[in-house]
A and B are shown apart, each in its own frame.
Chain A
Amino acid sequence: MSHQSHMDPNTMVIEMRDIVKKFGDFTANDHINLTLHKGEVHAILGENGAGKSTLMNVLCGLYHPTSGQIFVDGKEVHMNGPRDAIDLGIGMVHQHFMLIQPFTVTDNIILGIEPTKAGVVVDEKLARQRVLELSERYGMKVDPDAKIEDISVGMQQRVEILKVLYRGSNVLILDEPTASLTPQEIDELMQIIDNLTKDGKSVILITHKLKEIKACSDTCTVIRQGKYIKTVNVADVNENEMAAMMVGRDVNFKVEKKEMTPGDVVLDIKDIHAKDYRGIEILRGLNLNVRQGEIVGLCGVDGNGQTELVEVLTGLRKAESGSITMMGKDAFNLNPHDSFEAGISSIPADRQKHGLVLDFSIEDNLIVQHYKEAPFSKNGILKRDAIRKNATDLMEKFDVRPRGAEGKAAGTLSGGNQQKVIIAREVTNDKELLIAFNPTRGLDVGAIEFVHKYLVEQRNKGRAVLLVSFELDEIMSLSDRIEVIFDGEITGSVPGAEADEKELGFMMAGGKKNEN
């Protein structure tokens, strides 16, 4: 889609100058600059956790910047909350919609600033009329009388945009607006953005999808690890160059791996379709296999179906169709227990939600899949001695600190040590397949190395390892084979040794391999 610019380079609407935002010792935004003109579509590009959302929360009054200045229409402003931002004409459409499900479209749009008769009764007719006017003006089809719970995700998003427009916003911030949309809805959104800028509104688009930036933006500011990298004219750069700017940092360290030839196929996934929690199809015919003695890295931007895929494999979610086999045996839509018995053990993404029972002792957490078996119980009675010995041994082997804490609640451990408890348990299970989902999230460098070491060790023992991670570095340094997931499908496959960060970044954003 070619992009027709409506930008007026002489009228600056917003200027953010040298914005710094710190949370304790952590600097989320490190001297970031941003200018926005009338009619401009300005994309903000960055990886997960780069600081995009923090910057936008500063702009819409939710956070006070630690230092730096914000100018609106040339005047410096100090905002004390979202209300002030709304009064200044800045409105944000959040990634996760904030709508009241049983209310109608009109009710949601006017909520908080209802037009009234005699100051008391809501003037439903007038409200409805205004909503219709707005929706026609910007070509946003909505049914003003429909209830939110009955309308599509695309229409819910239009309601969110109308909500912001109804409050008189001139600047619209769209946070990952396409994350939950179908391709057709994305096209419609692009048209809406065009209509808005034609009318003199300015749009800030937060995203990591390069194609969409190319399709509808004038300018693009790249942020990496909280730092301002540069602002480019989108027409002057190609998607590859933008990908390089987004991920472009030195690869930290290569993990030591011996040469191995993969063996038999362990996990074989064919044409899997599954829906997410909203009932939207998120896995669209995905194919993937993992063989003995290899680490397959599944790489992609959050929200492309990784979570649902892992849930299907571990038995937390039912797939709609397709086939899954483990060592040639059917393993489609098993429950968690049977999935484990079929040979799948898993290091979950959320260690506190799925990995550990925080109020349980460490020793109890270590037997959570085996409490019914010898030597941990006999005739339904737990054998405390065996349970304690198991914990002492594993804590020693996997260096869980502090020692001697076998009987203490798992919640008292640091994050890194909690993760070690899970690794100890899952690696000791020694199943045919180990799934590791973001296994190093939030860990310090030492703990990361530790986790990586054990993943490689499983591979060296001839086990199959499926590594799902949002960290490109991690994928690149560990994987024997990298599979790129985009929009619920595998869109590319690269041998680990040949992986190129720029190319991966390009494919993660929906680009096809060897295509510029």
Chain B
Amino acid sequence: MKTKKSILDSNLFYTVLAIIIGFAIGAIFLLIAGISPAVAYGKLLDSVFSKPKYLVWTLVYAAPVIFTGLSVAFSFRTGVFNIGAEGQYIVGSVAACVVGIKLQLPPIIHPLVCLLAAAAAGCLWSLIVGILKTTRGIHEVLSFIMFNWIAYYFQNYVVNLPGIRRQSGGEATENVADAARILLPDGLMKTLDCSGANWGFIFASIAAIIIFIIIEKTTLGYELKAVGFNKNAAEFAGINVNRSMLTALGISGALAGLGGAVQVLGMGGRLSQLAAQEGFGFDGITVALIAGSNPLGCILSGLFYGAMKYGGSKLTIVRAPSEVVNIIMGCVIIFIAISQVFKVLFTSIGKKKEA
């Protein structure tokens, strides 16, 4: 009896349940589209697990969304809603790209400088919004969304600047210097047979552990959480609420900026002119929600999301629309959001049975 109760109390149980329901609903849509869910889901699994290189690709896809997921999760834990991870991701990728093109530095140093530039850019982008909030009382959600668009057009502006735009034509930047890339060593890359294999996932995992330690183990995390949970009580206890809020937003922005950097230094090697927001920041919201805002959970949910993104891109091979992945992810989020309802429902049924 006791074990059953603890399962019904655990968030993981509801997350898994939400994922299963998400797939079930995705299956219904596949059936409506006249495609066998078994075939489509088989292909999805196949394209992630059948070869080692596919798994490596999953890690490559996961890295940026783990970063943006961490960014959003950190903001949730500290009581602000960073819906601006998209914009911070973009300015981060632009900063990393420009520094990667324009500077000539030795390997190891160069990518570090790029990452630092990206983190600073994301941090700054988020801080502007934070300062608007603390000094002018403007709600962060509003300004974050506007700053996403400002970042978007900013990228398109930078991409087309002379000296940045590639001379060989095309609406993209020059490639970043080889020294600035964070690709795995050639030999290892050949063994894995994956042209995009990079350190991004490792960086993201390290970041997740650091964020976990900050939140759970440090006085800084204590302070930020206190402000996040109850601003009034924190202020009453003598914590500087505005400074805490800015610190939280700054760290959150830096994480999203790093997400942009690992994408451009790892997989892309350059930036293109955007036709629409790419959505890495918004994917971060999904990742954070699935992880229950737990930084370590973000690694797992980021991997799950990366797998779905990578596997989903191959669904067209079996003539299934890759949008089915978005349906599944959407449903997962909805059911995680209403998992509290399930929780109450199940525990009350459990109680009735006991009585």
Contacts and interface: CB of A to CB of B under 8 A. Distances in A.
Contact of A316 (B218, B236, B239): B236
B211 to A, nearest CB: 15
Contacts, number: 68
Contacts of A377: 218-219
Given A371-B223, A372-B219, A340 B233 contact: no
Interface string A333-358: 00111111100001010000111111
Given A337-B240, A368-B226, A371-B223, A382 B218 contact: yes
Contact of B230 (A340, A359, A381, A382): A359
A368 B218 contact: no
Interface in B193-235: 217-220, 222-223, 225-226, 229-230, 232-235
Interface residues of A, number: 29
A381 B219 contact: yes
Contacts of B219: 371-372, 377, 380-382
A364 interface: yes
A314 interface: yes
Given A371-B219, A380-B218, A381-B217, A358 B238 contact: no
B237 interface: yes
A368 B239 CA distance: 9
Nearest to A336: B238
Contact of A353 (B218, B223, B226, B233): B233
A382 B240 contact: no
Given A381-B218, A381-B219, A382-B222, A336 B229 contact: no
A371 B222 contact: yes
A354 B232 CA distance: 5
A376 to B, nearest CB: 8
A357 B234 contact: yes
A348 B230 CA distance: 14
Size class of the B contact interface (CB-based, 8 Å): 10 to 19
Contact of A382 (B217, B234, B237): B217
A336 B237 contact: yes
Contacts of B225: 360
A355 B229 contact: no
A458 to B, nearest CB: 19
A369 interface: yes
A336 B241 CA distance: 11
A368 B237 contact: yes
B238 A337 contact: yes
Contacts of B223: 371
B238 A340 contact: yes
A380 B238 contact: no
Contacts of B229: 357-360
Given A337-B240, A357-B226, A360-B226, A368 B235 contact: no
Report which residue of B220, B233, B239, B240 has the largest number of chain A beta carbons within 10 angstroms of its beta carbon: B233
Contacts of A371: 219, 222-223
B218 to A, nearest CB: 5
A356 B222 contact: no
Contacts of A339: 238
Interface string A312-339: 0011100000000000000000011111
Report which residue of B222, B234, B240 has the largest number of chain A beta carbons within 10 angstroms of its beta carbon: B222
18 contacts: A335-B238, A335-B240, A336-B236, A337-B238, A338-B238, A346-B236, A354-B233, A354-B236, A356-B230, A357-B234, A358-B229, A359-B229, A368-B233, A368-B239, A381-B217, A381-B218, A381-B219, A382-B219
Q: Which 5 A-B pairs have the closest CB atoms?
A: A337-B238, A368-B237, A354-B236, A359-B229, A357-B230
Interface of B: 217-220, 222-223, 225-226, 229-230, 232-240
Given A339-B238, A364-B222, A368-B237, 10 more contacts: A314-B236, A340-B238, A341-B238, A355-B236, A357-B226, A357-B233, A359-B229, A371-B222, A377-B218, A381-B217
